[in-house]
């Protein structure tokens, strides 16, 4: 794929090969390249900004360079961090955490133990009143395991299931179908008829690969707008769920269900004392 700023590199080389290099022309072209490469790392359309400044006549180099420098100053407010916004938002809500080195690593896969902790945080499963105080025996999740309490919670609430022989496999990667279905289980699965389920899922070209047991749950997520078939053309239900994909799902849920501010506690009025002065 040709790069729109290749012309600028040619200009630089031509300028540097001249006897009297046009220093400002070279500087201007280098600024162009830097800004374009910066914009290339972001999700908003480069063509909305770049062509309007890169294809100006060369006599406007000074105006263009000043424009680019100002653009650099205002890029953060124009959406420079847009791709990471969903991640920043779910991390700010403490629904997900950065890893030990402070990085999020959106390309890494979600484990069953990590998903259990996410579900507890997002849906506050640990605050449910009907939780059995007696812990469930899980052979491969000892009490010192970092996700022990969350795994106990998702098992007690039936949001996630264990395997035979009291195993949970906390480090096992989880597929997209499993992760989305578990999210739907915590959210509340709509009991759509099969025809409605098929209508929602048929929007994905790979809908036939969705496991039967996950279809109604995934249809719920699609119906609620947490998965947009137009933006996520392929569901890839059997592929591992990544941390980045989970952040996008959680952020869609956050936007759809903005938490309401807590109702302030209004002091009770002392009607008895207030009315006492009116008594004759």
Measured distance CA(110)–CA(26) in Å, rounded: 47
pLDDT at residue number 190: 95
pLDDT tens for each residue of the chain, 280 residues long = 444 444 444 444 444 444 444 555 555 555 555 555 554 444 333 344 444 444 445 555 566 666 656 655 554 443 333 444 889 999 999 999 999 888 999 999 999 999 999 999 999 999 988 888 899 999 999 999 999 999 999 999 999 999 998 999 999 999 999 999 999 999 999 999 999 999 999 999 999 999 999 999 999 999 999 988 777 688 999 999 999 999 999 999 998 876 544 444 444 444 333 443 443 3
pLDDT at residue number 236: 93
pTM above 0.75, yes or no: no
Measured distance CA(223)–CA(210) in Å, rounded: 16
Instruction: Give the pair of three-digit tokens for residue 226.
Output: 């947490």
Of 200, 229, 234, 231, residue with least CA distance to 215: 200
Residues 6+ apart with CB under 8 A from 71: 35, 49, 53
Task: Indicate left, alpha or beta for 79 from its phi (over 0: left) and psi (-120 to 50: alpha).
Answer: left
Of 185, 187, 190, 145, residue with least CA distance to 167: 145
Task: For the chain, state the CA radius of gyration.
Answer: 27
3-state secondary structure string across the chain: CCCCCHHHHHHHHHHHHCCCCCHHHHHHHHHHHHHHHHHHCCCCCHHHCCHHHHCCCHHHHHHHHHHHHHHHHHHHHHCCCHHHHHHHHHHHCCCCCCCCCCCCCCCCECEHHHHHHHHHHHHCHHHCCCCCCCCCCCCCCCCCCCCHHHHHHHHHCCCCCCEHHHECCCCCECEHHHHHHHHHHHHCCCCCCHHHHHHHHCCCCCHHHCCHHHHHHHHHHHHCCCCCCCCCCCCCCCCECEHHHHHHHHHHHHHHCCCCCCCCCCCCCCHHHHHHCCCC
Residue 222 · residue 229 · CB < 8 Å:
yes
pLDDT at residue number 138: 95
Owner of token pair 């059995």 = 132
């Amino acid at each position: 794929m040709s790069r729109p700023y290749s012309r600028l590199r040619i200009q630089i080389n031509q300028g540097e090969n001249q006897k009297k290099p046009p220093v400002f022309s070279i500087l201007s072209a280098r600024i162009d390249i830097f800004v374009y490469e910066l914009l290339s790392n972001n999700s908003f359309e480069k063509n909305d900004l770049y062509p309007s400044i890169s294809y100006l006549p060369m006599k406007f180099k000074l105006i263009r360079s000043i424009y680019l420098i100002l653009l650099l100053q205002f890029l953060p407010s124009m959406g420079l961090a847009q791709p990471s916004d969903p991640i920043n938002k779910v991390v700010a809500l403490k629904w997900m955490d950065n890893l030990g080195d402070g990085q999020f690593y959106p390309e890494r896969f979600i484990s069953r133990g990590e998903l259990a902790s996410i579900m507890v945080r997002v849906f506050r499963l640990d605050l449910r009143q009907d939780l059995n105080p007696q812990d469930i025996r899980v052979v491969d999740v000892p009490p010192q395991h970092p996700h022990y309490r969350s795994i106990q919670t998702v098992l007690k609430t039936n949001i996630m299931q264990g395997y035979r022989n009291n195993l949970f496999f906390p480090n096992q990667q989880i597929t997209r179908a499993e992760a989305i279905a578990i999210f739907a289980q915590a959210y509340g699965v709509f009991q759509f008829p099969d025809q409605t389920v098929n209508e929602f899922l048929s929007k994905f070209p790979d809908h036939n690969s969705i496991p039967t047991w996950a279809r109604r749950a995934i249809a719920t997520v699609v119906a609620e707008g947490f998965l947009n078939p137009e933006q996520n053309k392929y569901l890839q239900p059997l592929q591992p769920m990544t941390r980045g994909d989970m952040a996008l799902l959680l952020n869609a849920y956050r936007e759809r269900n903005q938490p309401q501010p807590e109702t302030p506690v209004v002091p009770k009025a002392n009607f008895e004392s207030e009315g006492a002065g009116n008594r004759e």
